Structure 1
Amino acid sequence: MSEDPYDVLGVAKTASAAEIKKAYRKIAKESHPDLHPGDAAAEARFKAAGTAFELLKDPETRARYDRGEIDASGQERPQRRQRYYRDFAEDAGNPYRQGPRYEGFGDEADIFAEFLRRQARQGGGDFSSHAFRARGADAHYALEVPFLTAATGGAMRISLPGGGDLEVKIPKGVADGQTLRLRGKGGPGQGGGATGDAYVTLSVRPHPVFRRAGDDIAMTLPITLDEAVLGAKVEVPTIAGPVKVTVPKGATGGQVLRLRGRGIAAPGRAVGDQLVELKIAMPQEVDDDLARFMEEWRKTHGYDPRKGGKA
């Protein structure tokens, strides 16, 4: 919920006093705790509306809020005292300037102003060290990362709205939705203030072969009927390049081979494995020779895998 009193009451900043009062009465009537016992959200709206109305019904406090001198709760904003300090400094450095009058500081303001005037006379009136400083704004970006780059690390560039680009170093093993913080790559500071940071939220592009399961890499490997029956040495892709893997004799569809240390190698974590699920792929056409062989084989070696034994 917004803390801005205008937003709370649902009125424009140019609303009249009558419009503000009407908006408050409507919310108070609709959200009164007596009408909504046990409803925390309604009670919160009722209290927020009351606070907003108390601030805006008084023309003086409303004007001070509009000028940014007080916040939504009616408290003095911290930066106000800093602005007084800057005005005093300017006044102290220029003896011909009529300084503004500051309400609410009393003798403290007079003593402080006199101190600054003396400092200005002794030091030539240079108050640059007391200039307003503000940290630069943070920048937020979204970046789509290829699966292999997210797995093994790399570097990419983001095109900036105002021209130019920004290099983003992708650590090994970043996950989908992870946000990287680039220190000092945000907006420039003011008055010598620190530069803001850049936050880059990553989305990992799906891969046609690999899937990620924590720090393990999973994939499905098609094998032929004869490779499943007789066993074979086959080439298997990994995120670091292809390797040779032994398919055991009598392999079955759904069987999983584990390639240790072939998964994600992220800093500070144990290296993951690659999980290779075998899938027996039949030929597109079953020729007569294969059909006759299987017919004869079935007569003497038939079995029912659904029952775990011979037919």
Structure 2
Amino acid sequence: MPAARDFYEILGLQRNASQEDIQRAYRKLARANHPDVNKAPEAEDRFKDISEAYSVLSDPKTRRRYDAFGPDFRQVPEDVDPETWARAGAGRAGAGRGGRGSGWPGQGPSGFGEGVDIDDLLEGLFSGRSGGAGRAGPGWGPIPGADQEAELELSVEDAYRGGRKSLTVGGRRIEVRIPAGVTDGRRIRLAGQGGRGGDGAPPGDLYLIVRIAPHPRYRVEGRDIHIRLPITPWEGALGAAVAVETPGGETKVKVPPGTSSGRRLRLRGRGMPSPREGPGDLFAEIQIMVPPRPTDEERQLFEQLAAVSEFDPRRR
């Protein structure tokens, strides 16, 4: 059976990598090896390896157990002390295999166990815990699956409307219901969609972290939506009712007379919806635009305005 690959090696990281380093490495590798993007025969298997490595290293608790116990971390009971584990493994390895090193039991150059019988080690450490059974490993019972995390990227429109969306996580196709008005950073829990349990134990949960993608028109802050609203000079001077495109559809905003660029108009309740907290607001920032190539008639009218107007925006 081939030796387990180092999850840090899979993501191209050092063992002291920060959580931000892990996330950046995962996003880069996942995009490059996603089966929908990379059609190479080995891409799907590599994508699964990358997803598994990220699911383990992105969870601080799971990462600590992996650092302590190596590829056997899922089989080691929760209350096992890492130092006791290492000492017992080193003693048994020295007695039975010619005194091979210390650290993880059977530790090789890569830092992972090689040819270690985990049941033997558990028997030596916990011979009395399994009710007199000859081997301690099975006596620990089923081991629940680990919780996992993945990012779910949504457009502003999809986050606003909600609905159902299909995505691939760890090589599996998953259907998820997105609540209307979901915000950036929100965690969506999918019960039983995480790592598989051992010996019939239930699987863990999958947590999807919502990331709202940049948008050419909208900027989302919490539940508020910000847009730029271009208007003509005469609409700003005289006032007007202007159509505004929002994620929920077109609406009208009243531009007061004498409105200049930079003024923000607030549309209450037109931001991201929320049944519990109430919807956010939409803020339209005025941007006065002039004709880039005025016609002869437009130029004459602007010249007439310039001749009769005493307004000087640079004079206070």
TM-score by length of 2: 0.57
2:219 matched residue in structure 1: 211
Q: For 1:199-249, what per-residue CA distance to the aligned partner results, in whole angstroms no more than 9, with x for missing partners?
A: 222321122211112211100011122222222222111221101222222
Report the count of equivalent residues.
Answer: 219
CA distance in 1, matches of 2:144, 2:88: 33
1:111-126 aligned within 5 A: none
Amino acid at match of 2:206: A
CA distance in 2, matches of 1:296, 1:143: 56
CA distance in 1, matches of 2:198, 2:176: 25
1:146 to 145, 155, 174: 155
2:193 to 161, 173, 185: 185
2:300 to 287, 292, 307: 292
Identical columns (%): 33
TM-score by length of 1: 0.58
**How far does residue 55 in structure 1 lie from its aligned partner after superposition?**
8.0
CA distance in 1, matches of 2:156, 2:204: 29
**How far does residue 161 in structure 1 lie from its aligned partner after superposition?**
4.5
**How far does residue 194 in structure 1 lie from its aligned partner after superposition?**
1.8
CA distance in 2, matches of 1:157, 1:183: 16
1:87 matched residue in structure 2: 133
Q: Gapped runs of 5+ residues in structure 1?
A: 1-6, 9-47, 89-99, 103-127
**How far does residue 168 in structure 1 lie from its aligned partner after superposition?**
1.4
1:252 matched residue in structure 2: 260
| CA RMSD after TM alignment | 4.0
**How far does residue 298 in structure 1 lie from its aligned partner after superposition?**
3.0
Please state if 1:155 is matched with 2:177.
no
Closer/same/farther in 2, CA of residues 81 and 269 from structure 1, 3 Å limit: farther
1:228 matched residue in structure 2: 236
Q: For 1:134-173, what per-residue CA distance to the aligned partner results, in whole angstroms no more than 9, with x for missing partners?
A: 212334333221112223322211225455x211122233
2:283 matched residue in structure 1: 275
Amino acid at match of 1:137: A
Closer/same/farther in 2, CA of residues 213 and 138 from structure 1, 3 Å limit: closer
CA distance in 1, matches of 2:252, 2:275: 27
SS at match of 1:206: coil
**Contact 1:147 1:205 (C-alpha < 8 Å) held by counterparts:** yes
**How far does residue 267 in structure 1 lie from its aligned partner after superposition?**
4.1
SS at match of 2:189: strand
Amino acid at match of 1:140: E
